[in-house]
Amino acid sequence: MRLVNGYWATGILGAAASHSLFTHLEAGADTADRLAARGGISERGAQTLLDGLVSLGLVELRDGRYRNTAEAAAFLVEGKPACLSDFAKLKLAHMGDLAALPEVVRAGGPVTDATVEVADNPHWEKVVQAIAAQSVPVATIAADLLRLAEAGEISILDVGGGSGIYSAIWLELNPAARSTQLDWGPINAIARRLVAERGVADRFTCIDGDFHTTGFGTAAYDFAVYSHIAHQEGAADNIAMFTKLRDALRPGGTLVINDYIVDDDRSGPPFPLLFASEMLLKSKQGGTWRRADYHAWLTKAGFEDVSFQPTPSPATLVFAR
Ligand SMILES: C[S@@+](CC[C@H](N)C(=O)[O-])C[C@H]1O[C@@H](n2cnc3c(N)ncnc32)[C@H](O)[C@@H]1O
């Protein structure tokens, strides 16, 4: 029954995020009537959300008082860099799209215009800002592992950089670094604004265009980023992109891939296995790819050293040199 009604979780979480419930709880509103007053919602609605959130393990109840669990405090309170509340609101808005899944499964791909590949798709304007929170911990881990802060005058290419979150974090960590992002024009405009808010826009450049058809240059970058892109592309396009990225990197340069990657026998992990349905729904050739796929595609593209680094998020980092 819990699985059959799994959409209750998306609904309750999305509604709680819409009314900033986690933020109000963190600020001390710890009963339904206080939350109702603070959030401008009905007391009946507040109590119903609290009941649901207790069931979901996001809120704890002690002696008649509610408070965020550690996870909700870390990932759902507004203003924190890794806050996923905007993402929760977005997924609630997307929920209706899933009704098409039986037909999508029959057809083997999208049955509406809502594919992720379309140029200047307004879909991305909402997604990239919401998804940035997910990339914050991963971009930080990658920077630590690659010792970017001490790397001096490096140049970075971020393909499909979205919100510019990798550039923002990496340029903040390394004051001598420069970064270039390739994405659709309207998305780059969002990235420029967000990167400027962090005070590093003077070292951030954007190229507007389709990454399939835009050249990346030759031996121009020390690091390249391809984060949450491989899953929307099929094998041939990923190999073509990795080949262009290899050429764009200087000798000894590193390609950083971040994505939901499945085990070679497709037995796990759970999140990437579920995410494949999202790509069936929204992309013509996307999916969740196995470690063996990345290894084979990167080798074919000319990379010699490929390593995988799990992260505390559902995504895995891949470093290719
Ligand atoms: C899922 S978001 C990932 C954003 C960012 N890399 C991150 O990990 O947070 C995918 C990004 O790729 C961009 N994108 C998708 N297809 C593209 C294409 N053909 N050419 C250029 N950008 C594209 C989208 O606009 C969006 O910014």
CA-to-CA distance for 203 and 195, rounded, in angstroms? 10
Residue 223: Cβ within 10 Å count: 25
Question: Is the CB of 226 within 6 Å of ligand 1?
Answer: no
- Look at residue 117 and tell me whether its pLDDT is greater than 70: no
CA-to-CA distance for 225 and 159, rounded, in angstroms? 6
- Look at residue 118 and tell me whether its pLDDT is greater than 70: no
Say how many Å lie between the CA of residue 162 and the centre of ligand 1.
Answer: 5
Q: What is the CATH number of domain 113-320?
A: 3.40.50.150
- Look at residue 70 and tell me whether its pLDDT is greater than 70: yes
pLDDT tier, 130 (very low <50, low <70, confident <90, very high otherwise): confident
The pLDDT value recorded for residue 127 is: 84
The pLDDT value recorded for residue 11 is: 98
Q: What's the pLDDT tens digit per position in 142-190?
A: 999 999 999 999 999 999 999 999 999 999 999 999 999 999 999 999 9
Q: What's the pLDDT tens digit per position in 9-59?
A: 999 999 999 999 999 999 999 999 999 999 999 999 999 999 999 999 999
Domain spans, the chain: 7-80, 113-320
Say how many Å lie between the CA of residue 183 and the centre of ligand 1.
Answer: 6
- Omega of the bond prior to 269 within 30 degrees of 0, cis? yes
Question: Is the CB of 161 within 6 Å of ligand 1?
Answer: yes
The pLDDT value recorded for residue 119 is: 64
- Look at residue 115 and tell me whether its pLDDT is greater than 90: no
pLDDT tier, 81 (very low <50, low <70, confident <90, very high otherwise): confident
The pLDDT value recorded for residue 126 is: 76
Rounded to an integer, the average pLDDT of 200-220 is: 98
3-state secondary structure 110-159: CCCCCCCCCCCCHHHHHHHHHHHHHHHHHHHHHHHHCCHHHCCCCEEEEE
Question: Is the CB of 165 within 6 Å of ligand 1?
Answer: yes
Q: Whose CA is nearest to atom 22 of ligand 1?
A: 183
Question: Is the CB of 138 within 6 Å of ligand 1?
Answer: no
Residue of 183, 260, 288 to mutate, ligand 1, most atoms within 8 A of C-beta: 183
**Which ranges in the chain belong to alpha helices (H)?**
7-18, 21-26, 32-39, 43-56, 70-75, 85-94, 101-107, 122-145, 165-173, 185-197, 235-248, 270-282, 291-300
And the tokens for 170? 């990496």
The β-bridge partners of 308 are 318
The pLDDT value recorded for residue 243 is: 98
CA-to-CA distance for 282 and 116, rounded, in angstroms? 6
The β-bridge partners of 207 are 182
Say how many Å lie between the CA of residue 161 and the centre of ligand 1.
Answer: 6
Q: Whose CA is nearest to atom 1 of ligand 1?
A: 228
Place of tokens 């914050």: 136
Using the atom order of ligand 1, give the atom closest to the CA of residue 229. Answer: 10
Say how many Å lie between the CA of residue 70 and the centre of ligand 1.
Answer: 31
CA-to-CA distance for 49 and 297, rounded, in angstroms? 46
- Look at residue 116 and tell me whether its pLDDT is greater than 90: no
- Look at residue 122 and tell me whether its pLDDT is greater than 90: no
Share the mean pLDDT of the chain: 95
Rounded to an integer, the average pLDDT of 126-130 is: 83
Question: Is the CB of 128 within 6 Å of ligand 1?
Answer: yes
Say how many Å lie between the CA of residue 127 and the centre of ligand 1.
Answer: 9
Amino acid type, 228? H
And the tokens for 120? 């200047």
Q: What is the CATH number of domain 7-80?
A: 1.10.10.10
pLDDT tier, 124 (very low <50, low <70, confident <90, very high otherwise): confident
Rounded to an integer, the average pLDDT of 206-230 is: 97
